[in-house]
Structure 1
Amino acid sequence: MKTSRYSILPLLILTLMSCTSEKKESKSLNVEVYETSESGNKLTRIMEFSKVDSSAVIKLLPEQKFQTITGFGGSFTESSAYLLNKLSKKNRDTILQAYFGEDGARYSLTRTHIASCDFSLSNYTYAPVADDVELESFNIEEDRDDLIPMIKDAQAISKDGFHIIASPWTSPPWMKDNNAYVGGKLLPKYYDAFALYFSKYVDAYKAEGIDIWGLTPVNEPHGNGNNWESMHFSPEEETDFVQNHLGPKLEADGFGEVNILGYDQNRKGIKEWVDEMYKDEASSKYFDGLAIHWYESTYDYFPEELQYAHEKAPEKYLIETEGCIDSEIPAWQDDAWYWKKEATDWGYDWREDDKKYLHPKYAPVNRYARDIIGCLNNWVDGWVDWNMVLDRQGGPNWFENWCVAPVIVDPDADAVYFTPLYYTMAHFSKYIRPGAEVIGVDNADKDLMVTAAKNLDGTIAVVIFNEGKDSKDFRLTLGEETVSVNINQQAIQTIIIPTKN
């Protein structure tokens, strides 16, 4: 039988397409895979790859570029620094190396408190003399025993260095309408004195060899229920303070390069704050970005609010400056607890009934992994954990406001416990470096959370979180190259794609 050339043509096209497809599939993507899992991996390198040709594809799109990363890390608190000083030199060094060393988490963005906070041993201010508007009594002596040595030791370890954001929980009490550490508002007649307070702080720390990269006008301007150090600002009041006092003062004193981040509280309140901060050129001039916390809900990362903040000022920083497992006493040397839905946050017990849905019982590791990936996929460029080190009680803390930290210590026994939260943080901080650009991802498996960033050295870091109770197979593709990977149940992976030569 004579065959028409028109009937052969589709066969030829089909054959060529098949060959092309096989050719693409045959190009293997070179990767390194590191996993932390409920089953016991702790940033463990995975050497055996999936043999399943999964239909679930995670496609990297490096041509799609989003925010530039500022960094990841944790906070220097007096509580953490005090505990480090109670440990043996060996264990103190082990912890600092784990956070800042090249073989550790390589923290690149940190935070500290200006004068006392709830995670201090007592209440204190740098300006103790009332009505000393010239701040002749200003001193940072309280920080010299613990806090400053911890920061300087970390600096000595960190090869690439790290940024520090500093926040006051309150002004000196005498500047407030209630003359107290807790609650109250800054009196307008002391706006200039409080601006001077910041300038003197930056200058004093610089004299110690510690450069302050960023400031927030106050921690949590909505307050904290009048429990520990706090000071209330409305969006209008804080914008006035920054626009007409703090910004000009820092600029006049030669500290204009210090970044001012407004707000510094929960994401649900973002809209009213950025609307005021970025209202016009004059109001936004001295604001370099927005600082946010996660306590409105440690389950919902509020993507709409994050998107709104970015769209309002796309050139400004958007940094998560505080998050932790709060209202819990940490489990000691029990990795399983950090993977189970037993932990609660403050809102589980104390939130209004119509807001309790924002505060479910939720595994600590899942809170961190879910929130950081959700933030990175919605324009956040930095993520800072709260205390780096706490004791078995979740302190010390003068208010007995117990929390969990990635590293828990028993100073009496000179014992150290690296919780799964430490390894979860390291999945981001160690491999997504400052200056990296978040890139596009097309994720076909909606049971997996995925984010990716391209570092300045050309490497691509992909972080994948499997919250489910079953392991998952997927194919990771970059252009024509692909690799099949398996992620364990309840696991977080970082996949590194080396620089192309």
Structure 2
Amino acid sequence: MKAIWLSLLLLLQTGVALTTTTTTPCLLRETSFGGVCVCNSSYCDYLAQPVLKDNAQIVLISSSKNGLRFSRTDGSFGQVAALEVQDRQEFDANFKADAIVVEQNKAWLQLANLPKPFAFNVNIKTVQLLINRQQLYQNITNFGGAFTGSVSHILKQLPQELQDHVYKSYFHSAGIGYNSIRMSIGGSDFDLQPWAYNELPINDLHLSNYTALDPRDLQKIEQLQRLKRVAELDELKIMAAAWSAPLWMKSNARWTGFGQLKSQYYQTWADYHLKFLELMQSKNMPVWAISTGNEPLNGVIGFVFIHFMSMGWTPWQQAIWLNDYLGPTIRNSTQRHVLLFGNDDQRYTYPSWFRKMRASRSNALDYLDGLAVHWYWDEIFGPQLIDEALTEMPNKLLLNTESCIGDKPWQTHGPELGSWGRGEHYMRAYMQDLQHKFNGWLDWNLVLDERGGPNYVNNFVDAAVIVNTTSRAEFYKQPIYYAIGHFSKFVPEHSRMIETRTNETASIAQLSTVGFQRPDGSIALILYNGENLPLRVLLQDSERGELSLQLPARSWHTIIYK
């Protein structure tokens, strides 16, 4: 009997419930795009955090296009033979996958639609990977995702046991170890309708109708409290941002379109933010950080194709508001500990946005603790823009605060269930950002439905976890989930990035890597083989010595050792 079903049978016979300290395998289901791991109320896959028993031990966690999901391989330094990842797994009876098996220099290719393998000769590449743990870079602060109105709505429909599996899968140490969420102040584009606090009465400078949290936010708080309990999470870093002010504060009196904050409401808008922080604090759900507003260019130049909630700012206007109103309001309040992040928009706005802010108010940037970036055009605009910004503002935290796929006209709008290619898109993006001194990453919606919604503008996109809202009985962990998890699960807060180098030419590199020294002193290396052939890696650590690895095609891995 297959290992997965044997595990389930034993559970049924003993009546013992799975706990999140137990390692349970993925129930892999074939889809038209690849494969997803299926979770229901009574079963979900988890991986207990590896514990290293001695200085020689190595733990290798692997995920691959052919079906591996957080598969564990153990080894040790000093082994004669290579530590080889076996790219095979006990699949669901309906799952068929291509596989490449390597014996010396001959690759056996098993195609899913052919009864027998055939062979071809190929030279398997060997890459040298040098680890210099003495060279330390940025500190890691947080990984997480967005708890939008759409997410809250979907979770509310699910049985409690299934909700709990979502929370554990994301935030428990046996899940992927998130420690942060992003939420909107008022509504966002992923809500069932646009909304803001104090929509009435209009022209209300004192926000007299803003004395309690909206029921939608109260529902989120109830869910977040449950999340913290089931994930055994002591601290949850909440990052908040506003999409739009109430209509009476805006120049166009509309949720979307070309519209900006009226200058007579600059102080009122600062007070609006402070009230949210105080109300969240009163519910024992303190906010860790806020930004100066989501995607400010949407209300200036993006309104042609953006039809959801937005409010425009120019950098000159935002500098005035930050320097003269928001900054002093927060810093002179009981919420002075809350961090302030600037921009919260695309990479192409860097570093010019901040240069223009400085030109408007020379001290405005002093109020900023960090810089927030969205990923949507990163394939066009290179990371050198971020490098320039950090050179000019070297002491700021740097976070990617929004990412999803399926938003472009040339992409499938909504989920591609099981798409390994979309997982690889995330893997490449996380690698690049971390190589350019990012301190963390907040993905967009934690969960979406089968269409990639719901929301009030039918703005359908993909997510790492897709919920079957028809049956309300299961959800699906996508390859995106495991791509993110190879970072968030094994690179905890206070890890430091270390130097990793290969002997490959950057333009034709088969192996991508980042490395970290974790708070306990152990090392976590993330390796990505994006080619259709296996790869040999000769790892050379400046303190531990050498290790030979053999990695399957189209796969990513985390290596943990002391």
- TM-score, structure 1 length as denominator? 0.85
Task: Tell whether 2:62 aligns with 1:35.
Answer: yes
> Is the contact between residue 29 and residue 483 of structure 1 (CA under 8 Å) also seen in structure 2?
no
**Residues 36-115 of structure 1 correspond to what in structure 2 (within 5 A)?**
36-47=63-74, 49-50=82-83, 55-115=126-186
Equivalent residue runs for 1:2-401 within 5 Å: 30-47=57-74, 49-50=82-83, 55-129=126-200, 130-138=202-210, 139-144=212-217, 146-156=219-229, 157-183=231-257, 184-223=259-298, 224-225=302-303, 226-277=306-357, 282-297=363-378, 299-300=379-380, 302-327=382-407, 328-331=412-415, 334-335=417-418, 338-339=419-420, 363-401=421-459
In terms of mean alpha carbon deviation, does 257-266 or 160-169 score higher?
160-169
CA pair 381-110 structure 1, distance change in 2 beyond 3 A: same
Q: 1:472 aligns with which of 535, 540, 544?
A: 535
- For residue 462 of structure 1, what is the aligned residue in structure 2? 525
Tell me how far apart the structure 2 counterparts of residues 161 and 430 of structure 1 sit (CA, whole Å): 16
Residue range with higher mean Cα deviation, 185-194 or 320-329:
320-329
Deviation at 1:176, TM superposition (A): 0.6
Contact 2:424–2:483, Cα closer than 8 Å, also in 1: no
Question: Cα distance 1:210–1:381, how it changes in 2: closer, same or farther (>3 A)?
Answer: same
2:482 to 391, 416, 423: 423
Give the conservation status (yes or no) of the 8 Å contact 1:301–1:371: no
Higher helix share: 1
Partner of 1:433: 492
Deviation of 1:161 after TM superposition, in Å, equals: 2.3
Q: Which moved more, 1:409-418 or 1:213-222?
A: 409-418
Which residue identity lines up with residue 206 of structure 1 in the other structure? Q
Amino acid across the alignment from 1:474: V
The residue type paired with residue 375 of structure 2 is: W
1:147 Cα deviation after fit: 2.0
CA distance in 1, matches of 2:372, 2:430: 15
Provide the residue aligned with 1:448 in structure 2.
Answer: 511
What is the distance in 2 between the residues matched to 1:207 and 1:473? 55
Per-residue deviation, 1:326? 2.7
User: Secondary structure of the equivalent of 2:461?
Assistant: coil
Question: What fraction of aligned residue pairs are identical, expressed as a percent?
Answer: 27
Structure 1 residues 166-213: Cα deviation after superposition (integer angstroms, max 9, x where no partner): 011111111110111113000111000000000000011111111111
Q: Quick one: which of 552, 555, 560 aligns to 1:488? A: 552
Amino acid at match of 1:32: V
State the Cα distance separating 1:144 from its structure 2 match: 4.1
Say which is worse superposed, 97-106 or 384-393, in terms of deviation. Answer: 97-106
| Contact kept in structure 2, 1:186 and 1:231, CA below 8 Å | yes
- Shift of the alpha carbon at 1:453? 1.1
Deviation, structure 1 residue 54: 7.5
User: 2:145 and 2:264 mapped to 1: Cα distance?
Assistant: 35
- C-alpha distance in 2 between matches for 1:496 and 1:34: 8
Deviates more, 1:388-397 or 1:275-284: 275-284
Label 1:256 to 1:331 Cα distance change in 2 as closer, same or farther (>3 A): closer
CA 1:133–1:371: 2 relative to 1, 3 Å: same
Amino acid at match of 1:134: H
SS of 1:440's partner is strand
Query: Counterpart of 1:212 in structure 2: which amino acid?
Result: V
Q: How far 1:146 moved relative to its partner?
A: 3.4
In structure 1, list runs of 5 or more residues that go unmatched. Answer: 1-27, 340-362
Is there any run of 5+ residues in structure 2 with no aligned partner, and where? 1-54, 76-81, 85-103, 105-123
Asked whether the 8 Å contact 1:217–1:242 carries over to 2, the reply is: yes
Q: Secondary structure at the match of 1:215?
A: strand
Q: Answer with 50-59 or 439-448: which moved more.
A: 50-59
Q: Which amino acid aligns with 1:197?
A: Y
Distance in 1 (CA, whole Å) between partners of 2:168 and 2:224 is 12
In the TM superposition, residue 495 of structure 1 has moved relative to its aligned partner by 0.9
* Alpha-carbon offset, residue 247 of structure 1: 0.8
Give the alignment of 1:399-418 within 5 angstroms.
399-414=457-472, 415-418=474-477
Distance in 2, Cα, partners of 1:278 & 1:321: 23
Kindly indicate whether structure 1 or structure 2 has the higher relative contact order, using CA contacts under 8 Å at least 6 residues apart: 1
Shift in Å at residue 164 of structure 1?
A: 1.2
Aligned partners of 2:450 and 2:469 also within 8 Å: no
Shift of 1:388: 0.3
**How much has 1:331 moved relative to structure 2?**
4.3
Q: Helix, strand or coil for the counterpart of 1:285?
A: helix
Paired residue type of 2:132:
L
Deviations 1:417-460 (A, max 9, x none): 11111111111111111111111111224211111111111111
- Alpha-carbon deviation of 1:278? 5.3
Q: Any idea what the Cα deviations from partners look like across 1:252-278, whole Å, max 9, x if unmatched?
A: 222111111111111011111122345
For the residues of structure 2 that align with 1:306 and 1:38, how far apart are their CA atoms?
A: 31
- Does structure 1 conserve the Cα–Cα contact (< 8 Å) formed by 2:448 and 2:462? yes
Q: Aligned-pair distance for 1:90?
A: 1.1
1:5-40 deviation digits (Å, cap 9, x = unpaired): xxxxxxxxxxxxxxxxxxxxxxx9532111111010
- Partners in 2 of 1:440 and 1:160 — Cα distance? 31
Instruction: Work out the CA distance in 1 between the residues paired with 2:521 and 2:366.
Output: 34
TM-score, normalised to structure 2, is 0.76
Q: How many residues align?
A: 444
Which aligned runs of 4 or more in structure 1 are off by greater than 6 angstroms?
51-54
- After superposition, the Cα gap between the structure-2 partners of 1:300 and 1:450, relative to the gap in structure 1 and judged at 3 Å, is farther
Give the direction of change, closer, same or farther, for the CA distance of 1:221–1:158 in structure 2 (3 Å limit). farther
Letter of the structure 2 residue corresponding to residue 389 of structure 1? V
Q: What is the letter of the counterpart of residue 241 of structure 2?
A: S
Deviation at 1:155, TM superposition (A): 2.3
Structure 1 residue 109, shift from structure 2 partner: 2.7
**Post-superposition shift, 1:123?**
1.3
Whole-Å separation in 2 of the counterparts to 1:464 and 1:239: 41
Distance 1:300 1:457, change over 3 A: farther
CA RMSD, aligned part only? Answer: 1.9
Query: Amino acid of the residue matched to residue 437 of structure 1?
Result: R
Q: 1:276 to 1:196 in 2, by over 3 A?
A: same
Match of 1:196, as an amino acid?
A: D
- C-alpha separation in 2, matches of 1:218 and 1:331: 27
